Structures are given as structure tokens and as C-alpha cells.
Chains A and B, each alone.
Chain A
Amino acid sequence: MTWLDLLIAVACVAGVLGFISVVALVAIWTERKISAHIHDRLGPMETGGFHGWAQTIADMVKLLQKEDIIPDAADKPLFKLAPYIVLSATIASFVVLPFGAHLIGTDLNIGIYYLVAISSLEVAGILMAGWASNNKWALFGGMRSASQMISFEIPIGLSLLIPIMIVGSLSMQDLVGAQAGGFWNWGVFSHLPFAMIAFIVYFWASLAEVNRTPFDLPEGESELVAGFHVEYSGMRFAMFFLAEFANMFLVAGVAVALFLGGWHAPFSFLEISAESNVILHNLVGFFWFASKGMVLLFIQQWLRWTLPRLRVDQLMHVCWKIFLPFSFVNVLIVSLWIVLTQS
């Protein structure tokens, strides 16, 4: 590894951090506006003039000025360590997310496998936060988060297996590259309807993975106040919040990369070929990737304000009795299809 490689890697991480911050700022604002409009009210209207666009920025400035309170009863080293683990695991997952043909931190040959592994490191941070707070709500929230996230990791792992089997590679760019040339080539439409079932299972399970409604029991405001981060304030709380929104985009990005064509446009004439202009090719790819990710982000928020919260027994029912058998049968059918058509 030369100094130039290191410089490029640092530029990549700076780009990803900037992108995550912008996505979080926009997504928190749209979340408030979408919730408001679904509730038939206006939401933030004053800050910044146009429809309160600067509300999240004002919130960030406010959070920066808030006192950082660590409860006397808390386990202080673990309490301080938890936000580092949660956010660094999230950022490290972004290294294999393909924003464009060349806009990727590093195209590991085990890309998606690495992503599934490293993003589950976050569970440790959440459990740590819940335990270290020495607060009943935080502990309940942390335990529920952990059990829910590990439970839904299995349907996620199995449904991601479908595009991996179809393409025969774990590298993110290989997986995206196999979906070139129009939306009918996208992963979600191959081996109909099985890849589509995998996509639906993945999307619902990923909602549970990021603790979104209808699977937001760990943060149930009306019963657990806020779940594992109830004792966190100021900037430490902001870091958990940032990680949550970064994760929302991360799971949307994985869905886009594996099922919805990645950085490919829905029609190939909407792309600029890499031969004519490499920079424009990447920028257009980035546009499509980010747009698709934002559409999925919007659907996540739409669902949040539409569906009620599940009970914990319903959650287990959905995961172990519906998603898991469905995913197993799905894997067996698709693999049989591939084996039979191959020989």
C-alpha cells in the first residue's frame, strides 16, 4: 500500500462521512415533513424560510450546546465506548457500498459477506449502551434491540443469498455489473418470482434490523421512552441518531445494489458510457444509486407513519415462522433452478 492509496482511502472516507451527514440532515427533515403531512399538519415551517428546511441544522447546533450528562450509576467506560462502536461499525460497512462504477471505498472480493458481518457488530454497541446506562428502560430496549437484530439477521442473510447465487460472486461490483442494461435485468426480476420474494423478505427484515416501524419495539416511545439511548444526551445521543439514519440508508443501499440495479439507470440510454467520459459516468451512476436509495428511504418513512407497532410475540412469529421457512424454501428452489439450467 502506497501513500497514494492511503490518500485515496482518506478521501473516500471523507466523501462517505459527508454523504452520510447530508443524508441524515435531509432524512430527518423529510421524516418530520412526511410525518406531518401524513398526519394532516404542516411540521416545521419557520426555520430557514422555505418549509423549515434548516430545522435539522438548527437541531444539530442545539445538540452541540447541550450538556453531556453521564449518570452516576452508569458503567462509565462502557457508556462512553458504545457510540464509538455503533458509529464506526456503520461507517465501516459503507466501505463496500458501490455508489458508482469507481465510487467505492474498496471492492472486496467478499464484499457483501463483509458487510453483513461488520454491520452486525452494531448489536454489540447497542447492547453495551443499554447495559452501561444502568437504567431499566435502556436495558429492556438494548435487550430487545439485540434479540430482534440477531433474529432478523438470518432472513437477511438467506435472502441476500439469492442474488449471490444467481451472479456467483460476493463482490459488490460484480453483483451490480450483472444487472446492467435496463430495469428488466435487475436482480429483483430475475428467476421470477423468487428473487422478488427474496427482495420483499430482505426489505421487511431490514426494517427490523434498523429498528424501524413496524418493528420499532426497542425504541417504543410510549412504553420504553427511547430504548437503549434513553440516558444519552447532547452529542453522544446525536451520534446514535446519526448511526440510525446512516443505517437506514445502508440497508436501502444494499437493497439497491443487489436487487434494484445498483448505479445502473432503469434504461441504458439514461447512462453515459465509461468510454466517453469516466467522470460523468460515475456522477450519473451516483445519481441513480442515491435516488433509488432515497426512494427506499421514503418508503421506510412512509411505512413508519402508516403501520402500528407489532407486539414482541408477533415479531418472533414473523421472523421465525414466516420469514425463515420462506427464505429456506426460496434458497432451495433458486439453487435447484440454477443447477438444473446449468447442466
Chain B
Amino acid sequence: MSFAPVLVFFLGGIGLVAAALIAAWVIAPSNPGKLKNSTYECGEEPVGSPWVRFNTRFYVVALIFLVFDVEVLFLYPWAINLRQLGMYAWVDMAVFILILAVGLAYVWGKGDLEWIRPKHASAGSVGGKDGIN
């Protein structure tokens, strides 16, 4: 068991991309032009910059993800040692999952799991209604 092959595989992936791009650089033509290098929008002139304010939904999703991803992180070592730890650890983890389930129920009840937030959701909800999706 060694981690060195992981590095070799990483470098292999980078090498593959580099080799393909070098091959394309040798073979492919290069005639850049003003129109060719303009932003593609099906032939329309792009209006404004695409780097605009974004729908806060994505931010809320990232926050919820973070909470549950960390939880999954804690579950892995517990799962490996489940047999040795026995009932005590199971009850422990059940309580932990229950606490997070309450959190999920809260977010669910607030309407933050809906992509289009329901109108009746209270003003204290996490997501806004600005921006675009």
C-alpha cells in the first residue's frame, strides 16, 4: 500500500491533456480573428457581462451541502468500526443523525429546498429572490 501511484496517476492525467494539446498545436491551424474570438451567443451580440449577480439558491444549496457532507465525513470512520463499537456508538450516531434530520426538516419547512421559493415562506428565509437562474 503506497500513495506514490496516486501522484503518478495525477501526472498521467496532466500528461495526457498536455500531449493532446501539443499535438493539436502542431497539427491544427491558427487564424484568430476578432469575430471568431468573440463570445458565442448563437450569432447575437452579447449584452452586458455574464459575470453578474447570481441566484442565491446556489449559495443555499452549497450551505446545505456543506452541513451534510461533513456529516457523511463523520459517518465513514464510524461505519468501519461499527462491529467493535456496538450499540452505544449506534445510539450515539442515531442521535447525531436525528439532530441533522431536524435541520433538514427546518430547511424543508422554510421552503429553501424548493427552487422557486413559495410566496408564503417567511421573510426570515435564507434565500433571496434577486438575480437569475
Contact = CB atoms under 8 A, between A and B. Distances in A.
A226 to B, nearest CB: 10
A316 interface: yes
Contact of B37 (A5, A71, A106, A154): A71
A64 B16 contact: no
B20 interface: yes
Interface string A141-170: 001001100110110011001001100111
A51 interface: no
Interface residues of A, number: 88
A1 B4 contact: yes
Nearest to B83: A342
A83 B104 contact: no
Contact of B20 (A10, A105, A238, A313): A238
Contact of B4 (A5, A313, A328): A5
B24 A13 contact: no
A88 B10 contact: yes
Contact of B82 (A95, A225, A338): A338
Interface of A is mostly: helix
Main DSSP-derived SS at the B contact region:
helix
B28 A235 contact: yes
Nearest to A139: B50
Given A6-B4, A83-B17, A313-B115, A17 B12 contact: yes
Contacts of A67: 28-31
A157 B113 contact: no
Interface string A217-241: 0000000010000110011101100
Given A92-B9, A316-B114, A324-B68, A68 B101 contact: no
B8 A9 contact: yes
Interface of A: 1, 5-6, 9-10, 12-14, 16-17, 63-73, 83-84, 87-92, 94-95, 105-109, 113-114, 131, 134-140, 143, 146-147, 150-151, 153-154, 157-158, 161, 164-165, 168-170, 225, 230-231, 234-236, 238-239, 311-313, 315-317, 320-321, 324-325, 328, 331-332, 335-336, 338-339, 342-343
